[in-house]
Every structure is written in structure tokens, then in C-alpha cells.
């Protein structure tokens, strides 16, 4: 890969993480870090997921995930339930409080992007969306080739 391409991607990453606040200790003016918010997202979109599923999706360290999940239990954001089919397996569910916390984060994320994009014309916004879709398609193709 050309060094110019690598430098361009890294510059974009630095720019984008800065404008959406990914380096802030707490994301979207919440009490949650980015990894915590991503875990809430997974739990919201994959009801009854096991910890291994979160590890696979996020590539997060098992010990780090365990500490976050224990914290979520103490905060009453999640419950763990033993599988009826296999008693060795634990499924994780958001509580009503956890679902409300995620929904608040989700709305804040939508609002942040609406504000960021508010100065763009509809055409520019659609073009940005198409470019982001293209980036994901290219990276997914590269990831699939790497896994072969």
C-alpha cells in the first residue's frame, strides 16, 4: 500500500475521532465510555447474546468485557440468565433501565450527527453517505480476503 494512502487514512481517522468526540472519556456527554456504549449497542441489537458473541463482534478482551458486564450488573443495566438448553451458557439481556440508557445514547448519537451534517446540502449529505458505504464495502472485502 502506498504511504500516501496510509497517511491519508490516518489523517482522516484523527480528524473524525476528534469531531465526534471518540477520545473523550465519556461519549456523547454520558457516563459511558466508547467501549461501554458499543457493548450496550450489541446488547440492544442482539437480545440474549452471550459474552463470546460480544467478544467476536467487538474484538474486545475477555477480561475487560467481564469487568464492564459486572459493572453493568451492579448498575442494574443488564441481567444474566442461564441457558435452559445448556446450563453452562449465560445469556445477557438489557433491563428496562439498560434499554433506556441505550436509547438515550442512540438519540444523542443521532442528534450529534444531525448537527454535524446540518451545514451540508441534501446532495452533499447523500454523497457523504455513499462514500461511507463504499469505504465499508472496500474494508469488508479486504477483511474477508485476509480471513481466507
74-84 pLDDT, tens digit each:
999 999 999 88
Top pLDDT among 17 and 41 is at 41
Q: What is the pTM of this model?
A: 0.85
Domains of the chain as residue ranges with CATH: 32-117 (1.10.10.10)
At residue 98, does pLDDT exceed 70? yes
How far apart, in Å, are the Cα atoms of 38 and each of 49, 101, 125?
14, 12, 25
Helix (H) or strand (E) holding 8: helix 3-19
**Quick one: how far is CA 85 from the chain centroid?**
29
CA–CA separation, 9 vs 123, rounded Å? 24
Contact 40, 105 (CB under 8 A): yes
Q: How confident is the model at residue 1 (pLDDT cuts 50, 70, 90)?
A: low
Amino acid at each position: 500500500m502506498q504511504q500516501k494512502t496510509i497517511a491519508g487514512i490516518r489523517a482522516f481517522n484523527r480528524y473524525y475521532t476528534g469531531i465526534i468526540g471518540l477520545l473523550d472519556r465519556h461519549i456523547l456527554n454520558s457516563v459511558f465510555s466508547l467501549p461501554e456504549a458499543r457493548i450496550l449497542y450489541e446488547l440492544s441489537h442482539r437480545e440474549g447474546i452471550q459474552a463470546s458473541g460480544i467478544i467476536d463482534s467487538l474484538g474486545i478482551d475477555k477480561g475487560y468485557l467481564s469487568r464492564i458486564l459486572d459493572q453493568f450488573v451492579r448498575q442494574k443495566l443488564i441481567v444474566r440468565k442461564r441457558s435452559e438448553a445448556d446450563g453452562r451458557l449465560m445469556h445477557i439481556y438489557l433491563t428496562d433501565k439498560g434499554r433506556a440508557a441505550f436509547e438515550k445514547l442512540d438519540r444523542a448519537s443521532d442528534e450529534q450527527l444531525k448537527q454535524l451534517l446540518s451545514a451540508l446540502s441534501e446532495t452533499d449529505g447523500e454523497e457523504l453517505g455513499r462514500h461511507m458505504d463504499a469505504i465499508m464495502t472496500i474494508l469488508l472485502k479486504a477483511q474477508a480476503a485476509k480471513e481466507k
